[in-house]
Structure 1
Amino acid sequence: MCGRIVGGNLTQAQMLAIMEDFLYGAPVPDAVAPEARSGWNIKPTQQIHMVCKDAEAFIATSARWWFVPHWFKGDVKDWKQTTFNARIETAAEKPTFRTAWKTSRCIIPAVGYYEWSGPKNDRKPNYITLETNAPLIFFAGLCSTLQDGSRTCTILTLEPAEQIAHIHTRMPVILKQDELAPWIGDEMETTAAQDALGAGWDGRFKFHEVNKFGRDDDDPELIEPIDRLI
């Protein structure tokens, strides 16, 4: 679930300008973070844009999209669990994620994401986003800082809204604008977050099937509706 996200062609500065009002001020850019991927086909293990809290400030940084807990001592490539997504229903209790749930929440800005549907031997990609006033959507995530100072992250998921339940059995937790600061500011109780986050979007999803694309394809045309003549 949520194995590809779309960053579009927005720069970090443009993203920060959009988020400034929602976070009571623009996050501070992390000058030493590795460059994050932009584009139309961003994959797990790639570096993605992320906003987290560091001391008292919100930090705009990047993280490797495949969560590795802070206590893991090996190379990130040696981490074998599939952790680019985490279930919001269980993340607070899972040993892999529970410290991050308490202390290292993050938001991951994107334009949309892909989800595949259909029979196993003929899976079809769908592009999914939301009708909102902002040109971004914001996934709820968890992040970790490893011993070498690098960051990793995961996108939280939950059961799908009825409008898109026919596409997949899970969907990313998409935060409302007034939930951004409380989420990464650790101002939400676990129960409230599990019950309310990501809800209320039903009827506001925009989605359509797109043409099949290759692993390394990256072009704005990837999100265009499928050409039925192909």
Structure 2
Amino acid sequence: MCGRFSQAYTWAQIHAFSRPIGLPEGGGNLRARYNIAPTTEVQILIAGEREPELVSARWGLVPSWWKKPLRGMPATFNARVETADTSPMFRGAFRARRCIIPASGFFEWTGEKADRVPHYFSAADGGLLAFAGLWERWKSPEGELITSCTIVVRDADDWMDRYHDRMPAMLHPDAFAAWLDGTAGKDVLRRPPPALQEWIVARRVNKAGAGDEDPETIAPAGGV
């Protein structure tokens, strides 16, 4: 699974990251966030009507057919790759509304529930990670239009399995365009992920949203 991640980059960095799909230049300041929790806003890359766009979305997908209030939604911040194309919650988005979720890194925990140790994972080369995602637009009973998304997750590879049995499905740049336009199959989600690095961080991240705007949130704990 992936229940917490970070997005901390400049517009120049996100533009370079998106080069395979051609995100237009320009843009204002981007808010750096270091402990993003489900149901909060994240940034996603979508195909757009004419060209790729970087837009905000609620992390926790709400399918367009959902008729109840938002507070009644089950947890949909992750979509399992095994069922993303068949689950009623995700299959419509899998067919027609895919996205790329840029990430500086993500968190997982080891140890017993009462004494969980948080680990931070990022690209070994210091670049951004490209989480495969799905997105939707939903109109609430009150008439509010909400864009939402989910991160596709897969079985952990041998390296990640030491920490958790699941991990985000990460796209390589040569698959960006095909993922967004829907021509890529699940095989691109099961390719070996980019090389990762890991370190232990302070336990305050065990609380959702704690230190979200503080870069020390992802710093090695105690000089680890």
TM-score using structure 1 length: 0.85
User: For each residue in 1:185-208, what CA deviation from the matched residue of structure 2 results, as whole angstroms up to 9, or x when unmatched?
Assistant: 11213xxx2x34242237x21011
Deviation readout 1:102-150 (Å, 9 max, x if unpaired): 0000000110011111112211100001224x73111000000112432
Q: Matches of 1:111 and 1:7 in 2, distance apart?
A: 5
Once the 2 structures are TM-superposed, how far is the Cα of residue 28 of structure 1 from its aligned partner? 8.3
- Match of 1:50? 44
Alignment equivalent of 2:147, drawn from 147, 151, 158: 151
Q: Once superposed, which parts of structure 1, at least 4 consecutive aligned residues long, lie more than 4 Å away?
A: 27-31
Give secondary structure in 2 for the equivalent of 1:227: helix
**Superposition pairs for residues 180-199 of structure 1, below 5 Å?**
180-189=176-185, 193=186, 195-199=187-191
Instruction: State percent identity of aligned pairs.
Output: 33
- Count of residues in correspondence between the two structures: 216
Q: Unaligned regions of 5+ residues in structure 1, if any?
A: none
Q: Name the residue aligned to 2:57.
A: 63
Aligned to 1:26: 23
Q: Is the 8 A contact 1:45 1:64 kept in 2?
A: yes
Query: Match of 1:21, as an amino acid?
Result: R
**2:17·2:128 contact (CA, 8 Å) conserved in 1?**
no
**Unaligned segments of structure 2, at least 5 residues:** none
* Map of 1:2 onto structure 2: 2
Which stretch shifts more, 40-49 or 143-152?
A: 143-152
Output the CA distance in 1 between the equivalents of 2:44 and 2:135: 9
Task: Confirm or deny: 8 A CA contact 2:47 2:180 kept in the other structure.
Answer: yes
Equivalent pair of 1:140/1:155 in contact (CA under 8 Å): yes
Distance 1:119 1:102, change over 3 A: same
Per-residue displacement from partner, 1:134-179 (whole Å, max 9, x unpaired)?
7311100000011243200000000001111011110001111111
**CA offsets 1:76-108 (integer angstroms, 9 cap, x no match):** 2231x1110110111100011000000000000
* Contact 2:85–2:94 (CA under 8 A) maintained in structure 1: yes
1:178 aligned partner, one-letter code: D
Residue identity opposite 1:85 in structure 2 = N
Moved more, 52-61 or 88-97: 52-61
TM-score by length of 2: 0.87
**What's the RMSD between the two structures over aligned residues?**
2.4
Task: Find the counterpart in structure 2 of residue 137 from structure 1.
Answer: 129
2:186 pairs with 1:201: no
C-alpha distance in 2 between matches for 1:111 and 1:47: 16
Q: Note closer, same or farther for the CA distance 1:125–1:89 as it changes in structure 2 (3 Å cut).
A: same
Does the C-alpha gap of structure 1 residues 65 and 58 become closer, same or farther in structure 2, counting only changes over 3 Å?
Answer: same
Q: Distance in 2 between matches of 1:98 and 1:36?
A: 31
